């Protein structure tokens, strides 16, 4: 059984060395593990909450997509897409909004922090708070639940959002009487590397202390490394490697043997200038091949667009059938499909006729149930990798069901096998299918 893992990347900036070590590299490595069905998406709708500069958002989408591809993300193996290319996500977000209590959103950390800051400044509590910021956790829940992700790796600051996604999923499942959504598991990234920046604080754009990953080329990389703050120990004096930002950075990108050799040189008195040059050369050897791919991708955005569109098409093969099922669940049905003219049906009222109900199981397979007019399950289909195959079998059963096919399905196989099937049940299944074909 594959485990579906989902990771979103907000498109509000240019990736730096700290982003690569802390998030990009481990995520790409994890996606290659057996049994992992990895989903990576560019969270460009989320970017609109934080950034109102269209040019910056557009550029960031290009740079971040190029970065992930350049560092080795296998777009054929994973599902790599833009959030904004999946229209089912904002539609699901609205369905979830309609079952989410405002009180739950009132407790969101980002919203409470904004309110606290406004109160401290003596202005209206909601001054500057948009509905995008307020309902951000619901859109995040839609990102996760749309593809029924099993695991979502996050930092500790995002734990609350994952807990909210679980709460919202449970609420929807309860209201509409079935487990439409898998409850996502929070995966805390305890081992994420936190790199020091030029001044020793955490590498962050907020501190303006970052080392570029690809932007500016080798020249910008060397210039940044040479600006790293060190102590006043002269060449020849032993250096304390453990307290050195240079050593921490070197170790994050080196083997155990390489790190030990660099540490020994520092402790034997290597000058800081030589140490910075050694760090630069080590990083350049690692980054140069990836930078070459990055530059080529940036120069050919059409290639990135094709990859993202292919990823969106792959993602929508999952989103479309689930969204259709959810629309059916909340009452947004085709008027020819089970609705009785002039009568409003309650959301938990049983259908008036036999019907198929499609769903996606925990293993990721597409299945359907045949329900009798009173809601009793008469038949459970086998699992299909492609939803079109499940739909094709439903059409076959409605148009011309054979006893061999029905017997096989009732026995849990694709074709008839040895053993008797209850003739009463077989007759009920056949009658239900006939009634559906006459509707």
Name the binding residues for ATP: 10-12, 18-19, 155-157, 195, 202-206
3-state secondary structure of 319: helix
Report CA-CA distances (Å) from 102 to 15, 168, 330, 338.
Answer: 35, 12, 20, 33
3-state secondary structure of 71: coil
Q: Look up residue 182 and give its DSSP letter.
A: P
Count Cβ atoms below 10 Å from residue 132 Cβ, excluding itself.
Answer: 13
The label of the residue with tokens 């026995």 reads 411
Q: Give the separation between CA 348 and CA 286, rounded to whole angstroms.
A: 59
Using an 8 Å Cβ cutoff, are 194 and 207 in contact?
Answer: no
Task: Give DSSP secondary structure letters for 403-429.
Answer: HHHHHHHHTTSSS--SS---HHHHHHH
- Tokens of residue 239, six digits: 């250096």
3-state secondary structure of 40: strand
- Tokens of residue 164, six digits: 């909210």
Report CA-CA distances (Å) from 251 to 29, 79, 247.
Answer: 18, 31, 6
Instruction: Report the candidate in 297, 300, 294, 291 with the shortest Cα–Cα distance to residue 221.
Output: 291
- Per DSSP (E only), the strands in 117-273 are 151-154, 185-188
Instruction: Report the candidate in 243, 263, 240 with the shortest Cα–Cα distance to residue 251.
Output: 263
Report CA-CA distances (Å) from 6 to 332, 345, 401.
Answer: 28, 36, 40
Report CA-CA distances (Å) from 370 to 109, 398, 434.
Answer: 44, 11, 12
Q: Give the separation between CA 385 and CA 364, rounded to whole angstroms.
A: 8
The distance of Cα 417 from the centroid of its chain, to the nearest Å, equals 41
Report CA-CA distances (Å) from 423 to 355, 407, 410, 418.
Answer: 21, 10, 11, 15
Which residue ranges make up the annotated binding site for L-tryptophan? 143
Which residue ranges make up the annotated binding site? 10-12, 18-19, 143, 155-157, 195, 202-206
Q: Give the separation between CA 294 and CA 290, rounded to whole angstroms.
A: 6
């Amino acid at each position: 059984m594959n485990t579906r893992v989902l990771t979103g990347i907000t498109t509000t900036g240019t990736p730096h060395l700290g982003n690569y070590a802390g998030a990009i590299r481990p995520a790409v490595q994890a996606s290659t593990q057996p049994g992992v069905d990895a989903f990576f998406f560019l969270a460009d709708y989320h970017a609109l909450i934080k950034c109102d500069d269209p040019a910056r958002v557009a550029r960031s989408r290009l740079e971040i997509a190029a970065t992930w591809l350049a560092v080795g993300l296998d777009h054929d193996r994973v599902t790599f897409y833009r959030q904004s290319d999946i229209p089912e996500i904002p539609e699901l977000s609205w369905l979830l909004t309609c079952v989410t209590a405002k009180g739950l959103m009132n407790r969101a950390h980002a919203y409470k922090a904004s309110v606290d800051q406004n109160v401290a400044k003596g202005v209206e509590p909601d001054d500057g708070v948009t509905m995008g910021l307020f309902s951000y956790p619901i859109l995040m829940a839609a990102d996760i639940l749309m593809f029924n992700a099993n695991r979502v790796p996050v930092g500790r600051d995002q734990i609350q959002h994952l807990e909210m996604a679980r709460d919202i999923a449970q609420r929807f499942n309860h209201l509409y009487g079935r487990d439409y959504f898998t409850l996502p598991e929070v995966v805390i990234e305890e081992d994420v590397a936190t790199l020091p920046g030029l001044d020793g604080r955490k590498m962050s754009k907020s501190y303006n202390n970052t080392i570029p990953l690809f932007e500016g080329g080798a020249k910008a990389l060397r210039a940044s490394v040479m600006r790293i703050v060190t102590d006043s120990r002269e060449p020849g004096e032993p250096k304390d490697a453990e307290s050195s930002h240079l050593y921490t950075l070197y170790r994050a990108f080196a083997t155990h043997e390489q790190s030990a050799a660099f540490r020994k040189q520092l402790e034997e008195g290597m000058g800081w200038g030589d140490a910075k040059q050694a760090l630069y050369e080590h990083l350049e050897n690692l980054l140069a091949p990836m930078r070459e791919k990055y530059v080529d991708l940036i120069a050919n955005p059409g290639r990135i667009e094709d990859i993202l569109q292919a990823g969106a098409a792959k993602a929508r093969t999952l989103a479309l059938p689930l969204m259709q099922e959810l629309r059916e669940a909340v009452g947004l049905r085709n008027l020819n499909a089970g609705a009785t003219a002039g009568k409003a049906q309650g959301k938990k009222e049983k259908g008036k006729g036999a019907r198929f109900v499609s769903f996606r199981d925990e293993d990721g397979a597409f299945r359907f149930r045949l329900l009798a007019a009173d809601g009793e399950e008469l038949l459970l289909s086998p699992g299909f990798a492609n939803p079109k195959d499940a739909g094709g079998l439903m059409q076959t059963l409605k148009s011309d069901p054979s006893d061999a096919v029905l017997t096989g399905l009732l026995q849990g196989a694709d074709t008839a096998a040895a053993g008797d099937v209850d003739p009463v049940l077989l007759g009920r299944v056949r009658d239900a299918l006939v009634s559906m074909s006459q509707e």
